[in-house]
A and B are shown apart, each in its own frame.
Chain A
Amino acid sequence: MKLKIVLFSILLLNNLNAEFSYSGKIYLPYNFNLKTYKNTELPIRFVDLNLNYSFLNIDFKSNIALEYDWSTEPNEKINLREYYFSYYPSFGEITIGKQIISWGFADGNNPTDNINPYDFNYMFASGVDRKIGVHSISSTMYYHNSKINLVMSYDDFKHHFNSQIPFECFIYGSNDDGNCLNAPEFSKHIEYGIDFQYNMNQAEIAISYLNSHDRFHNENIQTIGANLLYMHDEFTFRFENAFYIANNNEKFLQGIIQVEYPELFRFNATTQLFGTYDFNAKKIYGIGPPLFILSEYMIIFSTSRMFLDDVIELNNFILYNLGKGHGYSIGGEVNYTLNDYIQSSINISKFFKGSGTSSFNNLENHSNLKISLTYFF
């Protein structure tokens, strides 16, 4: 049915002489576990294809992925991650269809960005690669220095768990036989939200509200967000806070402070300090970015720099778990651009266990090394 919608839209827009464009990538990775030296068997998104049609003030956009998953039968899957229409009236934009919508000011770890559930198989990927599209109507209205986003979605909003890391045990517990308990049934329902943003000279503020369901327990949860962007000289500060009120009046707060530093020795450096403050929450809620469920408090320091005349890009991070169990992780990525279309990468993530038990310490067995080749088109 979904494929029919996409094909019908393409056929219709073709007949209207709409302008067609495409882009995407073919991704060939080999990812092996640093403990066992075997394939991690995490799902792979081999092909990522964006098809776009533009006609007058209307765009049709789609993202189709070809994925390979060792844990499913058959292993290959065509994933229609997004297919939606965008209409551009004078006041802004209206979109309708299955889509990924991003809110928030921080990079990557956004407590206020809860419209789409996450696919934990891709939890360490960047940007929209981690998210699952949901059927939504969304509008963005601009008025002078203000911007208002409205969104209403209808879907089951269920996170996809990582096929190799047993998050279910951590979240739902296990039975007497030691088997992880399963997630509750998720039915389709409506969620809605509003985000108001105001731009100033050196700052931006945003407040948001989202009425949604928790992605682990399928219970109602309301999110009130408050974000601030402040630029001072060459420093940029991004603050993002989400106050959650769950169905049974359990309350907790997630927050992140991101500091971007001036370029030093051609290094771009960023620090993110983030965590959760529990008022009276009794369980782990599936809301907020994936890293927030690994610990109460974390700090990440990351740097990036281009070397050898911009041919090699080096990205590094150190992540330290300030919460229970401690532990830390270091990671690095080297991207080598062969030409305008092909990039090769080596990526290593190593987890070091701290004392005691925590979901972060469970990651120790999942340190991995990934070698990949990407063809962009």
Chain B
Amino acid sequence: MKFLIVLFVSIVFSMTGKELSILMDNRESPKDVSSELNMEITNKKGRVRKSKIKSISKDNNAKQILWFLSPADDKGISYLKIEHDNQDDEIRLWLPGFKKFRRISSNKKADSFMGSDLSYEDMTSRQMKDYSFKIIDSNADIDGKSCYILESIPNGIDSEYSRHITWVDDNTYLAIKEESFNQNGNLLKLKKIKYKLIDSFHLVSEIFVENIQKKSNTKLTFSNLNINTGIKNKMFQEKNMKRLPRK
């Protein structure tokens, strides 16, 4: 009888992958975030290339501008991304050496972002309608935190990945680790994400991405995080890419 009750409870309260992804998607996020990023790209020989980036974003990262502050040969380059629901995302680069804005295809998702282990696809939010979700383990554990393991498979979209396996904290519904597999089904990237609690919001404080095939990795560390500072929509315009933000 006891066994039947446990089975009944687990059937009634077990969550589907879709429901978990909705909970992840519905997590409250700040209206806007500004931060400074330190990007460290380490190649397989251990050589490190560091970049410093200023970032502002809005609407859960659907609008974002990144300004490169260093290294010196990248200084002044900026990146604008605007995600759209019903049309292709808009990605532009400001190239000061050419004095030109360059619109690039948002379909070139697999291209590396500024030589890092992050691709443009990694920098873009996943649309729920484009994936099918399945929980493959409800009782996983990572670093003492109990987690769900969620499988996400792209459906009918161009993607560099065939599937993602994500460890999701079952308390906060935050993704804390992810394995992404290439189109051949081989593990391509391992991502680990750390968060910082600011005003009841969990904000990403560190992203570590390891490219298993290339044996290189990229660590993004976020500092000077400011939220809800009233960044306006019009900030995400081409003209603001030309001007490094004032301190």
Q: Using CB atoms and an 8 Å cutoff, list the residues of chain A in contact with chain B.
A: 19, 21, 23, 25, 54, 59, 86, 88, 90, 92-93, 100-102, 107, 126-129, 140, 142, 147, 199, 201-202, 204, 229, 231, 233-236, 260, 262-263, 306, 309-311, 337, 340-341, 343, 376-377
Contacts and interface: CB of A to CB of B under 8 A. Distances in A.
Contacts of A343: 73
B43 A310 contact: yes
30 contacts: A25-B72, A25-B73, A54-B243, A54-B244, A93-B242, A107-B98, A107-B102, A127-B95, A127-B99, A142-B239, A147-B238, A201-B88, A204-B103, A229-B103, A231-B103, A231-B105, A233-B107, A236-B104, A262-B108, A306-B115, A309-B44, A309-B47, A309-B214, A310-B49, A311-B47, A337-B49, A340-B49, A340-B72, A341-B71, A377-B72
Interface residues of B, number: 44
A186 B172 CA distance: 71
Q: What 9 A-B pairs come out closest when comparing CB atoms?
A: A309-B43, A376-B72, A127-B98, A340-B71, A376-B73, A201-B87, A102-B99, A231-B105, A127-B97
A128 B239 contact: no
Nearest to A89: B239
Contacts of B90: 199
Interface string B184-221: 00000000000000000000000000000010100000
Contacts of B102: 107
Contacts of A129: 97
B110 interface: yes
Contacts of B216: 309-310
A93 B88 CA distance: 27
A54 B247 CA distance: 10
Given A127-B95, A201-B88, A376-B73, A311 B43 contact: yes
A309 B71 contact: no
B129 interface: no
Interface in B102-145: 102-108, 110-111, 115
B99 A231 contact: no
Interface in B55-81: 70-73, 75-76
Main secondary structure of the interface of B (DSSP, over half): loop
B2 interface: no
B126 to A, nearest CB: 19
Contact of B99 (A93, A100, A309): A100
B100 A102 contact: yes
Contacts of B99: 100-102, 127-128
Nearest to A116: B99
A199, A340, A377 — most chain B CB neighbours (10 Å): A340
Given A140-B239, A234-B158, 11 more contacts: A86-B242, A88-B239, A93-B239, A107-B102, A142-B237, A229-B103, A309-B43, A309-B216, A340-B49, A340-B71, A376-B73
